[in-house]
Amino acid sequence: MDYPDHFDVIVIGGGHAGTEAALASARMGANTLLLTHNIETLGQMSCNPAIGGIGKSHLVKEIDALDGAMARATDRGGIQFRVLNARKGPAVRATRAQADRILYKATIREILENQANLQIFQQAADDLMIEGEQVVGVVTQSGIRFRAQKVILTAGTFLGGVIHIGMEQHSGGRAGDPPALRLAQRLRELPLRVERLKTGTPPRIDARSVDFSVMQVQPGDTPTPVMSFMGSRAEHPQQINCFITHTNAQTHDIIRTGLDRSPMFTGVIGGVGPRYCPSIEDKIHRFADKDQHQIFVEPEGLTTHELYPNGISTSLPFDIQLALVRSMRGFENAHITRPGYAIEYDYFNPQDLKHTLETKSISGLFFAGQINGTTGYEEAGAQGLLAGINAAAQALGREGWYPRRDEAYIGVMIDDLITHGTSEPYRMFTSRAEYRLLLREDNADLRLTEQGRKLGIVGDERWAAFCAKREAIELEAQRLKETWIQPGSAEAAKLADKLTSPMSREYSLADLIKRPELGYADVADLKGEPVDHEQAAEQVEIQLKYSGYIDRQKDEIAQMQRQENTPLPADFDYDAVGGLSNELKSKLKEHQPETLAQASRIQGMTPAAISLLLVYLKKRQ
């Protein structure tokens, strides 16, 4: 049947990309339908119930700055919070939370169900309706035809999904869920480049069968970090500990005895796996000289006994899984509740997408999440948000948006994917961002919330809180710059013990904060009242302490911006550019960069080649 209502945007898939996409599209004001296999699995965490971590927390906070759901759900579901790299500079600091997967999922569902302009429908999408080169809707498993102006596909690991445990294999989207086979088949008929990737997950363990007394305890941080700019510690549920154990020589021997039945080592799995999240069999092979690997033992929630042993992702046969688990300290009597497995799935070459995540070949069809070759909830959520914004903007006849590399990690990820593609699951790292001193997790709101408000996706509550924070930062920075401390004064005496060299002249409070041995907390109350806003105080401190580096990075960005504003016409004849190597010519023809800056980021591109392009462009004018 033809469904009577027409939608502006249909999102296929209710995972991390799909939920952010649907929410963003609806917040933009577009009449949106979220079509997913199962309403009970909205926001389901397929693997470890943890959000954030190095590079990834930057994405979560950027999603949050644009009023997305991930950080808010983390604050309401997080059972252990830590700041990684806390002793390093603010650019690489990263908040990570272990979540109760049930609480997390429930929060995502609640947010979805209370979002205006958003309808949810449970059923598999089996086909896309395409007229000419334009998508016009979706056909479900039972033949319901939903029409829409734009469609966002976020099918995760489900397209042509094959699950492997030892030499056994079966079709599946992830354990317990059906694969999307018909849709995968249909997509393979479209002019899109499809490849296979794989990922894996560890066996889960019943906590009642584990001896925690012989494991190292890993508590969360105090005071407890908060993920959302709008969040608070008061929202957090009960906080609990994680634990640490290790593999050992016996574990490694057991794994080796199973390699002849490993789908990875016998060539049954062809897809490439995540390099930075390898299986335990891969680790034993690649780091043969290491006699142990650290395993984080992480609870899956407050109302379940299931544990996630982070570090032993595996697709070895079940008998080997059980033996390797039981060879570890504290796991001698462990009961496995779910076997580990690997999954192979279809992904599409992201070079076939525009920066808005719309496919180049089918107008109105957007791709987001794992299907673009990424791995991780955060990477998926960030893409979903962007696709949601742009699909809705197009449907409503408004201007779309995507951030540049100097504005957001989302911009870095999209540009990396579209410019270089990926042949292995792509995950975010701080090292991927060239302007990481500016793209910190702590200032994601200052970078993006105003833009989000202009787009119409930032609600009144967040906007009011943001404006108050921004004003508090400005006023406090002003106060610190205008408040002076004289040498020999009572205030200076209070600092004497902390100073590495005595105060030889008058200092403003701002100047004092810039000294390495002092921080905001040491000086803010020497004269006058410190700001009563935790985030504003942190921001003022970071902005003052790193002002020299930050200014230098801003200069670099201004220089790059000039290249970013230099468009390369679509009909640019690279063969006519004298002095350009054939290899670079063919790369430029393949990538079709839209600007000089995009061209400069193509692998192997040299500054000399960019100068040649510039000279040629000037001659053309």
In angstroms, the CA 542 to CA 554 distance is 15
CB of 173 to ligand FAD, least distance (A): 6
| Options 176-184, 399-407, 530-538, 585-593: segment touching ligand FAD (CB under 6 A) | 176-184
Q: Which amino acid makes up residue 113?
A: E
Among 25, 80, 157, 321, contact with ligand FAD (rule: CB under 6 A):
157
* Contact (Cβ atoms closer than 8 angstroms) between residue 447 and residue 433: no
Question: Per-residue x/- marks for ligand FAD, 493-532, CB under 6 A?
Answer: ----------------------------------------
- Compute CA distances 536 → 72, 469, 516, 530, whole Å: 19, 6, 20, 10
Using CB atoms within 10 A of its CB, is residue 237 exposed (0-12), middle (13-18) or buried (19+)?
Answer: middle
3-state secondary structure of 217: strand
Q: Which of 374, 422, 386 is nearest to 156 (CA)?
A: 374
316 binds ligand FAD (CB under 6 A): no
In angstroms, the CA 364 to CA 394 distance is 8
Among 166, 317, 369, 411, contact with ligand FAD (rule: CB under 6 A):
369
CB of 427 to ligand FAD, least distance (A): 6
598 binds ligand FAD (CB under 6 A): no
CB of 24 to ligand FAD, least distance (A): 13
C-beta closer to ligand FAD: residue 153 or 325: 153
C-beta closer to ligand FAD: residue 198 or 404: 198
* Contact (Cβ atoms closer than 8 angstroms) between residue 113 and residue 40: no
Q: Which amino acid makes up residue 410?
A: I
Question: Per-residue x/- marks for ligand FAD, 416-455, CB under 6 A?
Answer: -----------x----------------------------
Among 7, 8, 11, 16, contact with ligand FAD (rule: CB under 6 A):
16
Among 174, 198, 283, 405, contact with ligand FAD (rule: CB under 6 A):
174
Residues numbered 28-47 forming contacts with ligand FAD, rule: CB under 6 A: 35-38, 41, 46-47
In angstroms, the CA 347 to CA 432 distance is 22
277 binds ligand FAD (CB under 6 A): yes
CB of 386 to ligand FAD, least distance (A): 13
C-beta closer to ligand FAD: residue 343 or 458: 343
- Identify any residues that bridge with 180 across adjacent strands, giving them in sequence order: 159
CB of 268 to ligand FAD, least distance (A): 16
In angstroms, the CA 422 to CA 13 distance is 22
CB of 546 to ligand FAD, least distance (A): 30
15 binds ligand FAD (CB under 6 A): yes
In angstroms, the CA 528 to CA 510 distance is 13
- Identify any residues that bridge with 170 across adjacent strands, giving them in sequence order: 163
| Options 324-332, 354-362, 372-380, 550-558: segment touching ligand FAD (CB under 6 A) | 372-380
C-beta closer to ligand FAD: residue 157 or 553: 157
Residues numbered 183-242 forming contacts with ligand FAD, rule: CB under 6 A: 183, 199-201
In angstroms, the CA 26 to CA 496 distance is 56
In angstroms, the CA 559 to CA 435 distance is 13
Signed CA dihedral, 33, 34, 38, 39: sign only? negative
In angstroms, the CA 102 to CA 78 distance is 11
Residues numbered 236-275 forming contacts with ligand FAD, rule: CB under 6 A: 274
Alpha helices by DSSP H, 91-205: 101-113, 181-187
Residue 439, token pair as written in the block: 């793209």
375 binds ligand FAD (CB under 6 A): yes
C-beta closer to ligand FAD: residue 125 or 503: 125
Among 55, 77, 137, 156, contact with ligand FAD (rule: CB under 6 A):
156
24 binds ligand FAD (CB under 6 A): no
Among 50, 63, 125, 417, contact with ligand FAD (rule: CB under 6 A):
125
DSSP assignment string, 495-530: HTTT-SS---S-EEHHHHHHSTT--HHHHTTSSSPP
Q: Which of 244, 259, 415 is nearest to 331 (CA)?
A: 244
Strands 2-12 and 32-36: parallel
Using CB under 6 A, list all residues that contact ligand FAD.
12-18, 35-38, 41, 46-47, 124-125, 154-158, 173-174, 177, 180, 183, 199-201, 274, 277, 313, 343, 369-370, 375-377, 380, 427
